[in-house]
Amino acid sequence: MYQVLYRKWRPKRFDDVVGQPQVTTTLKNEMKSGRINHAYLFTGSRGTGKTTCSKILAKAVNCLNPQDGDPCCECENCRGIDDGSILDVVEMDAASNRGINDIREVIEEAQFRPTRAKYRVYIIDEVHMLTTEAFNALLKTLEEPPEHDIFILATTEVHKLPATILSRCQRFDFNRIAPEAISARLKYVAEQENAEITDEAALLIAAIADGAMRDALSLMDRCLGMSSGITAEIVRSAAGLARKDYLFELSSACINKNPAKALEYIAKLHNASKDMARLCDELIDHFRNLMMIKSTKNARNMLIMSEDEFDEAQRQADYLTLAEVIYIMDILQTAYSRMGKGNSNRTELEMALVKLSAPELDGSTEALTARIAALEKAVKSGSIQTSAPEPTEKPEEKPEEQTSDPEETEPLSPPKAMTQIPKQDETKSDAPESPKPEAVKKRPGSLEEIYEKAVPFREWPELVDNIKNYSRSIGGALNGTKAYVSGNYLLIDSDSEITFARLRESSQRDEVKKAIKEITGKVYKLGPYKKPEKKEKTTDPLKTFIGDVKKLGINVTEE
Ligand X SMILES: Nc1ncnc2c1ncn2[C@@H]1O[C@H](COP(=O)(O)OP(=O)(O)OP(=O)(O)O)[C@@H](O)[C@H]1O
Rounded Cα–Cα distance for residues 179 and 206 (Å): 5
71 counts as binding Zn ion under rule CB under 5 A: yes
Rounded Cα–Cα distance for residues 166 and 157 (Å): 12
183 counts as binding ligand X under rule CB under 6 A: no
Task: Show the site string, 27-66: x = touches ligand X by CB under 6 A, - = not.
Answer: -------------------xxxxxxx--------------
Burial class (CB in 10 A: 0-12, 13-18, 19+), 333: middle
Q: What are the residues whose beta carbons fall under 8 Å from the beta carbon of 211, sequence distance 6 or more?
A: 45, 48, 175, 176, 177, 178, 182
- Tell me how far, at minimum, the Cβ of 120 lies from Zn ion, in Å: 17
Which run of H or E residues covers position 111?
none
Near ligand X by CB under 6 A, which window of 2-10, 224-232, 311-319, 446-454?
Answer: 2-10
446 contact, one of ligand X, Mg ion, Zn ion, none, CB 5-8 Å limit per kind: none
- Tell me how far, at minimum, the Cβ of 172 lies from ligand X, in Å: 11
Task: Show the site string, 32-51: x = touches Mg ion by CB under 5 A, - = not.
Answer: ------------------xx
Residue of the chain from 13, 14, 17, 219 that contacts ligand X (CB under 6 A):
17
Q: Give the number of other CB atoms < 10 A from CB of residue 139.
A: 14
9 counts as binding ligand X under rule CB under 6 A: yes
User: Considering Cα of 113, then 117, then 118, then 122, what sign does the dihedral take?
Assistant: negative
Q: What are the residues whose beta carbons fall under 8 Å from the beta carbon of 228, sequence distance 6 or more?
A: 194, 195, 196
236 contact, one of ligand X, Zn ion, Mg ion, none, CB 5-8 Å limit per kind: none
- Tell me how far, at minimum, the Cβ of 136 lies from Zn ion, in Å: 36
Near Zn ion by CB under 5 A, which window of 57-65, 84-92, 230-238, 550-558?
Answer: 57-65
Near Zn ion by CB under 5 A, which window of 59-67, 392-400, 413-421, 541-549?
Answer: 59-67
69-74-79 Cα angle (round to 5): 105
Amino acid letter, 90? V
Residue 61 or 130 having the CB closest to Zn ion: 61
Residue 78 or 454 having the CB closest to Zn ion: 78
Near Zn ion by CB under 5 A, which window of 61-69, 217-225, 290-298, 437-445?
Answer: 61-69
214 counts as binding ligand X under rule CB under 6 A: yes
Residue of the chain from 17, 31, 61, 63 that contacts Zn ion (CB under 5 A):
63
517 counts as binding ligand X under rule CB under 6 A: no
153 in Cβ contact with 163 (< 8 Å): no
Rounded Cα–Cα distance for residues 316 and 319 (Å): 5
Residue 49 or 521 having the CB closest to ligand X: 49
Q: Which of residues 141-180 bind Zn ion (CB under 5 A)?
A: none
Rounded Cα–Cα distance for residues 15 and 11 (Å): 8
- Going across the sheet that includes 489-493, the strands are 455-456, 482-486, 489-493, 525-528
Q: Give the number of other CB atoms < 10 A from CB of residue 38.
A: 18
Task: Show the site string, 8-27: x = touches Mg ion by CB under 5 A, - = not.
Answer: --------------------
79 counts as binding Zn ion under rule CB under 5 A: no
Rounded Cα–Cα distance for residues 92 and 152 (Å): 10
Near ligand X by CB under 6 A, which window of 15-23, 316-324, 399-407, 408-416?
Answer: 15-23
7, 399, 466, 502 from 412: Cα distances, Å = 75, 10, 22, 11
Residue 161 or 490 having the CB closest to ligand X: 161
Residue ranges that bind ligand X, judged by CB under 6 A: 6-7, 9-11, 17-20, 46-52, 156, 177, 185, 213-214, 217
Residue ranges that bind Mg ion, judged by CB under 5 A: 50-51
Residue ranges that bind Zn ion, judged by CB under 5 A: 63, 71-72, 75, 78
